[in-house]
Chain A
Amino acid sequence: DAKTTQPPSMDCAEGRAANLPCNHSTISGNEYVYWYRQIHSQGPQYIIHGLKNNETNEMASLIITEDRKSSTLILPHATLRDTAVYYCIVRGGSNYKLTFGKGTLLTVNP
């Protein structure tokens, strides 16, 4: 199973872009990168996923490097409500042991 590495915490000013990195150097060819976030003590929520192309939805953008060993989640205009723990995981094929790790605590400051 591919593992991911994320910084434990990051700060961002309200209205600015938040760029959250994730390293997944052992990702295999059929594994996708998924991002989730957990606000306070709620259950984690899905944000976005991708394989090798950049992806964008109404919440965020996902940039995956050409070698697929790392990715960046971009929140284009962070708000105070985006303060949360963000998790990057990889999943694909017969990988059912989905490990989340500790994620990155993003704090958006006014």
Chain B
Amino acid sequence: NAGVTQTPKFQVLKTGQSMTLQCAQDMNHEYMSWYRQDPGMGLRLIHYSVGAGITDQGEVPNGYNVSRSTTEDFPLRLLSAAPSQTSVYFCASSYSGRPPGANVLTFGAGSRLTVL
């Protein structure tokens, strides 16, 4: 049971490049989400999904795309990276709509992205 796996752990991009941050979970969780964390800003929700084929925007969705074709995977795509997207990105997952003790979020270890 690996939990939530994020890849890559570190990435350096040039402005305008595209890339995908991968997130996979093996817990059969319905809910998956992406957060970014900047110094002094706490965790901010980018996008989330409540099941395969269903996604929605969070607080800071601009510049990011997501899709959810399977229960296990929730990739985050940067189509044209900008320096403002330099951040640490966390993926989280949980059950949804079950007893509250089952709705606990499990976070990945994070992906540190630098855009030059």
Contacts and interface: CB of A to CB of B under 8 A. Distances in A.
Interface of A: 32, 34, 36, 41-46, 49, 51, 85, 87, 91-92, 96-103
A85 B42 CA distance: 9
A102 B40 contact: yes
Interface stretch (B67-75, B76-84, B103-111): B103-111
The A interface, classified by DSSP as helix, strand, loop or mixed, is loop
Interface string B1-31: 0001000000000000000000000000001
A35 B91 CA distance: 17
List 10 tightest A-B contacts by C-beta distance, closest first.
A43-B107, A102-B42, A100-B43, A32-B100, A46-B104, A101-B42, A44-B107, A43-B109, A43-B90, A43-B108
B103 A91 contact: yes
Interface residues of B, number: 29
Nearest to B106: A46
Interface string B39-51: 0111111001010
A49 B103 CA distance: 10
A36 B105 contact: yes
Given A41-B110, A98-B105, A92 B45 contact: no
B88 interface: yes
